Amino acid sequence: MSSMTHAGHVACIGEAMAELMLGQDAQYPAGLGFAGDTLNTAVYLKRFLATPAETAFINVPGQDPLSGRMLSFIEAEAISTGRIRRSSDCLIGLYAIAADDTGEQMFNYWRNKSAARTLFQSTVGVEFTALSGFDVLCLSAITLGILQSHVRTLLIRAFDKLRREHNVKVVFDSNYRPTLWESVEQVQNNIADAWRVTDIALPFVDDDMALFNDSDEVAVLARLKSYGIIRDAMKCGVSGPWSLGEPGSNDTSCMTNMDTENITIVDMTAAGDSFNAGYLAATLNSANDQDAMSAGRQCSLRDIAHAGVIFT
């Protein structure tokens, strides 16, 4: 695909939680960390963007010491926290994590009343002033899933307005977590609406096929094209990402030719989030689509060879 003009100010939007690592051996020691799909992407994105311009994280933590430690972690990664509002009566979510012998993770969550669920809500109602001034806005279906239904709808409308009036680019990852949603119909409608205001699509093939009953990868890409999306990197696990193909072509099954041998899998946590960051950083640094997918792939491979969410 043609390269994309570099964007200087990027915001990732979503929930960050405290991560309790239960500890099972020297490779997976017990400990406390902070993570979340869009936060993971923000950390890697800041590291790989070839610019000193702002990378921000938009979230709602609490006023408690644990929330304060999370903000310190984010700021230590040189990510802007200036748009973060702190809740006076809610705490951040928490999850516990353990890994099996294959690197697959087992999670338990305590997030139903997390402060992040009040994102974009204030004493005067729903407002989106935190989104102003950015060139690129990144979110996921998890971001949508934690919000109240009416806030989701208004947020998608806000993205549409920002695209039309300010040429903001929207990046969306359709991370599907069924427990966050009221019904399958609700998530189908909201994600389809989100795709319609998306400029750069970063779906995971299994999520989209399960949610929309697509028969295969080609069907997923055809549906994404029907929403008007023109740039896409669909994550397909170890087989490598697929793209929508060159503008004007009929190729909707352009899989990258990447070596999948000799991959050491230690921890699959944040594999997709790290791919998103590598791909997006290369895209915003004006790489073509194939080079951007390769960059995403390499970032993901480094991530899964490392125990824990963020490699150093």
User: Which of 199, 207, 273, 303 does the annotation list as catalytic?
Assistant: 273
Is 273 marked active-site? yes
C-alpha 83 chain-centroid distance? 18
Residue type, 132: S
Q: What residues act catalytically?
A: 273
